[in-house]
Amino acid sequence: MNPFLNPKTGLPFVKDFLTVPGRLKKFSPKKMKKYRDKAFRKTVAYAYTVPLYYKKYKEAGIHPRDIRGIDDISKLPMISKSDIVDHFPDGIIPKGYNDKTLQVVCTSGSTGKPVSFYVDFQTYATAAVISIRELRFLNLHWRKSRFAHLGNYSTDKADIGFDKGLISKAQSIYSLDNYLQMNAFSPIQDVVKKLDEFQPDLINSYPITFQNLAYLKRKGYGKNINPKVITVGGYVLDEYTKQYVEEAFGCQMLNTYGAAESSANIAFECRKGTWHINHDFFHIEAIDNKGEIVENGKRGHMLYTKMFGKGTPFIRYTGIDDWITIVPEYECDCGLSTPILTHGVEGRMSTSIVLPDGQLFPSASFATLSVVLNGLKTRKVKQFQIVQKKIDEIDILLVIDEDLRDEKPSMDILLKKIKEVYQKKVGPKVAINVREVTEIKSEPGKPSPLVISHVKPEEGLELLKL
C-alpha cells in the first residue's frame, strides 16, 4: 500500500506538513526545549531495541529511563562508522523489523569504507517537510515554484533512496511536474539543455556542477536558465566559485548541509549568510581529537544525533567527521533564532592539510586561492584543486579559460602570486607547485573535491613527538 494512503504513515506526514515548516519561528525556547526532550527520549527508546545500541548502552550501564531529555545526552556512548559497518545488516535495526519497508542507503566512502544503513518512509517524509520549511525562507512555494535537483543517482546512494522511498510514491498520487531530477554526472551539455527547457526557480547541486554550468552560461549557453536562487551542498564551497557562479546566474548561491546519514539538511544558509541548524530534528555537538566536548564557539569534529524516523538510528555518531564551530543560540536578521554553524562546514578531517610543524588546516580554510583570484579581479580560472602529495609537497592545479588567458593579469603574474601566497601560508619547508592542467578528474559518480590530502593527520602529530 502506498504509504501516503496508509493512515499510519500518511496522517503523520499531513500533520508534519502543516506544523513543521513554521516551527523554528513559532516555538519559544521553552517550548522548543520541551519538544526536543520528548523527541530525544523517543529516539533513545527506539535505539534501545536495536542490537548495536542495546549492547553499547548495556555496557555503559544506561537504560532509556535514565534519559530525561537532551541534557542527558552526554551519558550515552558515541557510535562510530565502524560500529555501523560491523553490525550491518541485522544489528542496526530492531530484531524482527520488516526490512522490506526500508531503503538501503550507502555513503560515498569519502572518509574511508562506505557505510550502509536503513531508511524508512517516515524519515524521507520528514526530510521533505524540512525542505518545504527552507523554501519558505527563500520565498519559494513547494508547488508554485520550479525546482531542479542535480544529484548522484548511483545505486544505493542517498538521492536514489529518496527517489524510491518518497518521490516515486508521491508521483503515483500527485503530479510533481514542477520538480526535475537529473544525474549531476551526465554530460554537461545535456544538463544545460534540460535546464534551459525546464527554466527552474531553484537549482540544487554540487559546487563543481555549478562551476561547469556557470562556465557555459558565460559562453552564452542556457539563456533561459535564470534561477531565483541556487543551493549547493555535498562539498566545501570556496568564495571564488561562489562569486563565479553568482555573477554568471545573477542570483544568490546558498549552502545547505546534510549527509547521507542525515537524510535531510542538518543546516541551511539563510539569505543573510547564517547557517541555521534544524535543531528540532538534529542535535549537534563538537568534540576534540580525544573525544571531549569542546567549548561553544571552538572548532571541533561533528558529533551527530538524528531525532526523527526509524530504520537505523544515529545517536552521537562520529562518522561524518566534519570540522564545525557551534554557537548554541543566535538571533539572525532573517528572523530566526537557532543554534548556528559560525563558519559553515569547514570540510572533513580526512581532507585537512597537515604541515611538518603539526599545523592542521581544514579544507575550507586552506582555499586561500579564492582570496588571490578575487584580489586580482580575474575569472580566468575555470576550476582549481589543492592536492597534498606528501607532508612537505603541495600541488595547486588550475584549469584555465582559454578565452580569458590573455586578459590581465598575465599568467606569469597569476602563477607567481598564487605560489607566493601559499608559500607564506605553509612556510619554507613545504614545496608549492602551481601547475596548469587541462582538466581535474574525479572518481566515477563523484564530484571532484576542492582539497585532496594523501597525508593522514596523525603524521603531523608524530613529527611533533620526534
Q: How many CB atoms within 10 Å of residue 415? A: 16
Percent of the chain with pLDDT over 90: 74
Same domain, yes or no: 74 and 206:
yes
Same domain, yes or no: 259 and 386:
no
Mean pLDDT of the chain: 91
Task: Provide the CB-side half-sphere exposure for 148 (13 A, CA).
Answer: 27
Task: Name the least confident of 124-133, 259-268, 345-354, 412-421.
Answer: 345-354
Same domain, yes or no: 261 and 226:
yes
Same domain, yes or no: 336 and 391:
no
Q: Does 256 score more than 70 pLDDT?
A: yes
Instruction: Name the pTM for this structure.
Output: 0.88
The tens digit of pLDDT for each residue in 14-44 reads 999 999 999 999 999 999 999 999 999 999 9
Same domain, yes or no: 331 and 391:
no
- 344 pLDDT band (50/70/90 cuts)? confident
- CATH number of the domain encompassing residue 59: 3.40.50.12780
Same domain, yes or no: 172 and 121:
yes
Q: Does 452 score more than 80 pLDDT?
A: yes
Same domain, yes or no: 269 and 122:
yes
pLDDT at res. 362: 77
pLDDT at res. 464: 39
The tens digit of pLDDT for each residue in 398-451 reads 999 999 999 999 999 999 999 999 999 889 999 999 999 999 987 777 778 888
68 or 368, which is more confident: 68
- 249 pLDDT band (50/70/90 cuts)? very high
Q: Which residues pair with 229 in a beta bridge?
A: 202, 252
pLDDT at res. 154: 79
Among candidate residues 349, 366, 401, the one where a domain is terminated = 349
pLDDT at res. 465: 44
Q: Does 248 score more than 90 pLDDT?
A: yes
* Owner of C-alpha cell 563565479: 244
pLDDT at res. 157: 85
Same domain, yes or no: 432 and 312:
no
> Measured between alpha carbons, how far is 316 from 79 in angstroms, rounded to an integer?
6
pLDDT at res. 363: 74
- Cis amide leading into 51 (omega within 30): no
- How far is CA 194 from its chain centroid? 25
Q: Which of 253-262, 347-356, 357-366 is most confident?
A: 253-262
Same domain, yes or no: 325 and 356:
no
| 38: Cβ contacts below 8 Å, ≥ 6 apart | none
In 3D, which of 171, 109, 132, 190 has the Cα closest to residue 14?
A: 132
pLDDT at res. 458: 61
Among candidate residues 324, 349, 374, the one where a domain is terminated = 349
Total domains in the fold of the chain: 2
Same domain, yes or no: 264 and 409:
no
Same domain, yes or no: 322 and 404:
no
Domain that holds residue 443: 352-465
Same domain, yes or no: 206 and 77:
yes
Q: Does 352 score more than 90 pLDDT?
A: no
pLDDT at res. 463: 45
pLDDT at res. 336: 94
SS3 annotation, the chain:
CCCCCCHHHHHHHHHHHHHCCCHHHHCCHHHHHHHHHHHHHHHHHHHCCCHHHHHHHHHCCCCHHHCCCHHHHHHCCCECHHHHHHHCCHHHCCCCCCHHHCEEEECCCCCCCCCEEEECHHHHHHHHHHHHHHHHHCCCCCCCCCEEEEECCCCCCHHHHHHHHHHHHHHCCCCCCCEEEEECCCCHHHHHHHHHHHCCCEEEECHHHHHHHHHHHHCCCCCCCCCCEEEECCCCCCHHHHHHHHHHHCCEEEEEEECCCCCCEEEEECCCCCEEECCCCEEEEEECCCCCECCCCCEEEEEEEECCCCCCCCCCECCCCEEEEEEEEEECCCCCEEEEEECECCCEHHHCEECCCCCEECHHHHCCHHHHHHHCCCCCEEEEEEEEEECCEEEEEEEECHHHCCCCCCHHHHHHHHHHHHHHHHCCCCEEEEEECCCCCCCCCCCCCCEEECCCHHHHHHHHHC
- 466 pLDDT band (50/70/90 cuts)? very low
pLDDT at res. 112: 54
- CATH number of the domain encompassing residue 395: 3.30.300.30
362 or 391, which is more confident: 391
